[in-house]
């Protein structure tokens, strides 16, 4: 039994959900989001809550049960609030700045990296070494943060690179004489 899947997703005031077939549509003050579930689960809306149940006892149905419930919970949270990821930039001369719909990154390459900010995402640089990514879609926020981080992953010897805020980088000792 999925402990996560068993819990119903409560709909707060101002948020409504509707199900047509396998498509769940959640409306709230910040917008509308949809999710198409697989045929392995059944989704119902009753008593101001969304419940997800597996169809059958197959391994795939049990896997999709908890995952579908979590995605619906993220939709409900996303139409009410925003998701946020914060990145830190470490390294001499490494910095970031937002210019219009483009994030400009100086990461020690011979050229600047220009990252086009996708629709539905807002990026703020409070300091040149901090990047905050916000949006209503949790998957999209995480994907944008991962793409930015991939331009210069943190390396274990000097710790230079882009890392998530609070991420621990295991430091290695360099060569000894």
Is there a contact between 151 and 105 (Cβ–Cβ < 8 Å)?
yes
**6 or 84: which leads in pLDDT:** 84
Element of type H or E holding 6: helix 3-6
For the segment 92-103, the average pLDDT, to the nearest whole number, is 94
> For the chain, what is the radius of gyration of the CA atoms?
21
The C-alpha atoms of residue 177 and residue 158 are separated, in whole angstroms, by 18
Q: Give the pLDDT confidence score for residue 175 in this predicted structure.
A: 87
Q: Give the pLDDT confidence score for residue 174 in this predicted structure.
A: 86
Q: What are the pLDDT digits (tens) for 56-68?
A: 889 999 889 999 9
User: How far is it between the farthest Cα atoms of the chain?
Assistant: 70
Placement of tokens 């392995």 in the chain: 40
Percent of the chain with pLDDT over 70: 99
């Amino acid at each position: 039994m999925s402990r996560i899947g068993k819990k119903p997703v409560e709909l707060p005031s101002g948020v409504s959900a509707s199900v047509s077939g396998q498509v769940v549509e959640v409306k709230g003050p910040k917008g509308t989001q949809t999710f198409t579930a697989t045929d392995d689960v059944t989704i119902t809306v009753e008593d101001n809550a969304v419940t997800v149940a597996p169809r059958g006892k197959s391994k795939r149905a049990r896997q999709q049960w908890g995952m579908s419930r979590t995605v619906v919970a993220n939709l409900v949270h996303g139409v009410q609030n925003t998701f946020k990821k914060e990145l830190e930039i470490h390294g001499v001369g490494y910095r970031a700045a937002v210019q219009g719909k483009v994030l400009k990154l100086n990461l020690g390459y011979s050229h600047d990296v220009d990252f086009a900010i996708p629709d539905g995402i807002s990026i703020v640089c409070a300091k040149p070494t901090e990047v905050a990514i916000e949006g209503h879609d949790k998957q999209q926020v995480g994907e944008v943060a991962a793409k930015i981080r991939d331009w210069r992953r943190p390396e274990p010897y000097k710790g230079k690179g882009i890392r998530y805020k609070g991420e621990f980088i295991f430091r290695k000792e360099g060569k000894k004489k």
